Structure 1
Amino acid sequence: MQSDIDLFSSLCQILTEKEFTLMVVSILVTNAILAPLLRFIYDPAQQYQSMRRCSIQHTKQDSELRVMACILNNESIPTIINILEASYASIESTVAIIALSLIELRGRARPLLVAHQPHDTLRSTSCNKTQIVNALRQYAQHNEGCASVYSFTSMSEYDTMHGDVCRISHEMEANILIMPFHKRWEIDGSVQVISRSIQTMNIRVLERAPCSVGILIDRGILSGFPSLLAGRIEYNVAVLFIGGADDAEALAYGTRMARHASVSVTVIRFLLFGEENSKDRKRDTDLIDEYRYFSAANHQFEMMDQIVRDGIEMSTSIRRLIDYFDLVIVGKEHPDSIMLLGHDQWSECKELGIIGDMLASKDFVTKASVLVVQQQRIRKRLIKHIVTPITNQRDQSVHNIPTEPGPRPSITISM
């Protein structure tokens, strides 16, 4: 501090008042011009952009599904493992799990991104990660030959961690990225905010992710639901369908889950009374008919229509049905509709969308966990909504890991 004061005094003696003023002004002007110019020329998020369709909807039935799960704490492990198991790993359609443990760094410690080698995938980086290691090991053993597990650890501040999340999902070519919610449900039903920085991280991931994104509102501790890996239990999943690309992604994920022997999926479609002939409804009907056709022989896949007149009737219907399920999947954004009017006025978490925010509200009493899905965006647009999601082939080109990546928020270490 004293040295800075001495330096300032020396400058004042060397420079005249006008010269010193000119120097300060020039520095301010340069910074004012350069900072916006650099932001305009170089967008760090561009390195994660992909022109390939990396969503579940656009993946063939017999293609490998790549699911990336970001794990914040041990309490969320049972629900995450159930979702991974419900994703249905089989010889015909394998599943690759990319597990990323999120560890917040405080102070001036330098951030690290640890990439575990295959032979070291299940080894913990800290004693607090023992449960994560055991859960991944159990999942891999239960699905031996049908599933693979890749393990990473990101040690960084939450404000910059979105860079690691997007980078790994891009390099590992994930189809869907599951992020933790910034609130935690306690055993007594109370809700605690873990960190507002996690909410900011989720918003940035939604803006930059090169694949579909799901935000998991975990209420598993309230239901005490056992692990799907134990077998001889039924896992009930609901897909709330209103319309739009995000709901189409939720429908695609739910349809895949219905192929699991222990998973029962019910698609609840909300229809607005009096709009039978609208173009949006006809397009959505064609999409749903495709999934209904390919799941015709599957008795664990059901569809039901709920005709409502406004948002109040829809909300009442959801409250009446939701407790029959262990997991509810819903899209983040929907086309403008009378069913959504009024709900956005009470929205607390914009990153969840209108319906997702309603389901995550502490006033919405339920034991069901919720997965809010956003389909992959390409150049800040929704992917074109298509009618034949299952027959479309996934792009065959492989996006290799860049040899000269842009600036990264952390150092990568292989172990």
Structure 2
Amino acid sequence: MFAAMVAALLKVGAAVGIAGAFGMPLNDGTSIGLLLNTKGIIELVILNIARNKGIMSDQLFMVLVFMSALITAMVSPLLAMVVKPARRLVFYKRRTIAWPHPDAEFRVLTCVHVPRDVPALLTLLDVVSPSSCSPIGVHALSSPENAVGVTARTMAAVLPYASMHEDITSAAENQHSALILLPFHKHRPVDGGLEVSHPAIQSLNGSVQRFSPCTVGILVDRGLAAVPGAGYCVAVLFFDGSDDREVAAQATRMAKNPAIDLTVLRFVQKGGSFTASEFDALKEHKADDGFLREFLNRANEGGGATVEYRERGVLNASEMVAEIQSVEAMGNKDLFVVGKVPGASALTAGMAEWSECPGRRGRSVTCWRPRTSRRRRRC
């Protein structure tokens, strides 16, 4: 029994030594050494043959079988101690759109279920204004066309919808993505309106939002993609909180695009705060002010989008919806970018009755709509 334990330790030590010699992490070497000690059916067959041929006694056979089972049973807990689930514990700073170095690569993971998902995603990337100075790294399930400042890497996955969110979130962690872009669970057919693409996609999107390590955007495509490089009219709706600060960060990137007409509409509640705690409300308000101030400073640098900033004081959800409808009624908006606030706001809490597709908590939502004016672009 002692000899078996010594042999097991020697295997681990040899694997660690080899790992060190080849520059591998010591944890990997320890893991390999532990895995080398696992026993299977072949070892038991060999031991049984040796006992039948009289090479070993029944007592020795029982001892070796017991040690094989013991060492194999110990491997799993020892591996759990040595190999932490590093992927789940990795902290990467580029988890959000609000990265302090805007000129660094903006990493986006896009998910494509069918070919019709691609055109609108490509158009959205064009709106975000990729360039050689502020590049975008795209990891996609299908191969998008390359544009200036866009590096595309493709992956293929054949998975059941029930577990697909695990691979999506894992890919985002491995690639240090700042944004996951998901297609909406409904698409626009030829006769207009919206119809469900696949009943499982809505649940999948909700699971990705729950377990995602970074910001999630859901792209609601109301038509075909516009021609890359064409002009776009974008409306950004800002309420309050961390989700909307991600929206402001996205707007900051869009403000670099000279082909964009950008309107940022901020809603402020009259006579009250957005949260129950006044202290928390003050912190959120200061953070919101800082983000919007940075956005306006960058927008005023010139050479980018035409930017209009408005603030609207409203008393309740009804007034806020009326303001949004007035913006939509103008009929010249290609894209609405909206954050998904987890119900803390007195304004957004009353919007459930207007919701066509109630969803679960997420970080941000991107909605793509077609233009209805003479300058309309199909998205």
Find the counterpart in structure 2 of residue 337 from structure 1: 345
Structure 2 counterparts to residues 191-230 of structure 1, below 5 A = 191-221=194-224, 226-228=226-228
| Distance across 2 between alignment mates of 1:293 and 1:271 | 21
Find the counterpart in structure 2 of residue 351 from structure 1: 360
Q: Is the 8 A contact 1:247 1:334 kept in 2?
A: no
The Cα shift of 1:302 comes to: 2.4
The Cα shift of 1:55 comes to: 0.7
Report which structure shows greater RCO (CA 8 Å, sep ≥6): 1
Find the counterpart in structure 1 of residue 139 from structure 2: 98
The Cα shift of 1:193 comes to: 1.4
The Cα shift of 1:344 comes to: 2.7
Deviations 1:67-118 (A, max 9, x none): 11111222222211011122222222111111124xxxxxxxxxxxxxxxxx
Q: Which has the higher strand share?
A: 1
Q: Which runs of 5+ in 2 are unaligned?
A: 1-76, 373-379
Residues 336/352 of structure 1: CA separation in 2 closer, same or farther (3 Å cut):
closer
Residues 258/290 of structure 1: CA separation in 2 closer, same or farther (3 Å cut):
closer
State which of 91, 95, 101 in structure 2 corresponds to 1:51: 91
1:218 is matched by which residue type in structure 2? D
The Cα shift of 1:241 comes to: 0.3
The Cα shift of 1:337 comes to: 2.8
Find the counterpart in structure 2 of residue 26 from structure 1: none
Find the counterpart in structure 1 of residue 16 from structure 2: none
Q: Is the 8 A contact 2:210 2:361 kept in 1?
A: no
| Distance across 1 between alignment mates of 2:152 and 2:299 | 28
The Cα shift of 1:45 comes to: 9.3
Residues 307/95 of structure 1: CA separation in 2 closer, same or farther (3 Å cut):
same
Structure 2 counterparts to residues 263-342 of structure 1, below 5 A = 263-275=260-272, 279=282, 280-298=284-302, 300-322=306-328, 323-334=331-342, 336-342=344-350
| Distance across 2 between alignment mates of 1:259 and 1:87 | 8
Residues 345/165 of structure 1: CA separation in 2 closer, same or farther (3 Å cut):
same
Residues 368/343 of structure 1: CA separation in 2 closer, same or farther (3 Å cut):
farther
Residues 340/46 of structure 1: CA separation in 2 closer, same or farther (3 Å cut):
farther
Find the counterpart in structure 1 of residue 112 from structure 2: 71
1:150 is matched by which residue type in structure 2? R
Q: Is the 8 A contact 1:239 1:328 kept in 2?
A: yes
Find the counterpart in structure 2 of residue 244 from structure 1: 241
| Distance across 2 between alignment mates of 1:47 and 1:352 | 23
The Cα shift of 1:345 comes to: 5.0
Alignment partner of 2:141: what SS?
strand
Residues 334/293 of structure 1: CA separation in 2 closer, same or farther (3 Å cut):
farther
The Cα shift of 1:353 comes to: 6.7
Residues 333/70 of structure 1: CA separation in 2 closer, same or farther (3 Å cut):
same
Structure 2 counterparts to residues 25-64 of structure 1, below 5 A = 47-53=87-93, 54-64=95-105
Equivalent residues, number: 279
The Cα shift of 1:352 comes to: 6.5
| Distance across 1 between alignment mates of 2:309 and 2:86 | 39
| Distance across 1 between alignment mates of 2:178 and 2:362 | 21
| Distance across 2 between alignment mates of 1:249 and 1:266 | 16
State which of 148, 165, 171 in structure 2 corresponds to 1:168: 171
| Distance across 1 between alignment mates of 2:89 and 2:141 | 20
Find the counterpart in structure 2 of residue 253 from structure 1: 250
1:307 is matched by which residue type in structure 2? G
Larger Rg belongs to: 2
Find the counterpart in structure 2 of residue 16 from structure 1: none
Residues 67/172 of structure 1: CA separation in 2 closer, same or farther (3 Å cut):
same
Find the counterpart in structure 2 of residue 377 from structure 1: none
Find the counterpart in structure 2 of residue 403 from structure 1: none
The Cα shift of 1:368 comes to: 6.5
| Distance across 2 between alignment mates of 1:194 and 1:95 | 28
| Distance across 2 between alignment mates of 1:93 and 1:355 | 22
| Distance across 1 between alignment mates of 2:201 and 2:90 | 24
Q: Is the 8 A contact 2:108 2:136 kept in 1?
A: yes
Residues 258/45 of structure 1: CA separation in 2 closer, same or farther (3 Å cut):
farther
TM-score by length of 2: 0.66
Q: Which runs of 5+ in 1 are unaligned?
A: 1-37, 102-132, 361-365, 370-415
* Displaced runs of 4 or more, over 6 A: 352-357
- What is the root-mean-square deviation of aligned Cα atoms in Å? 3.1
State which of 93, 107, 129 in structure 2 corresponds to 1:88: 129
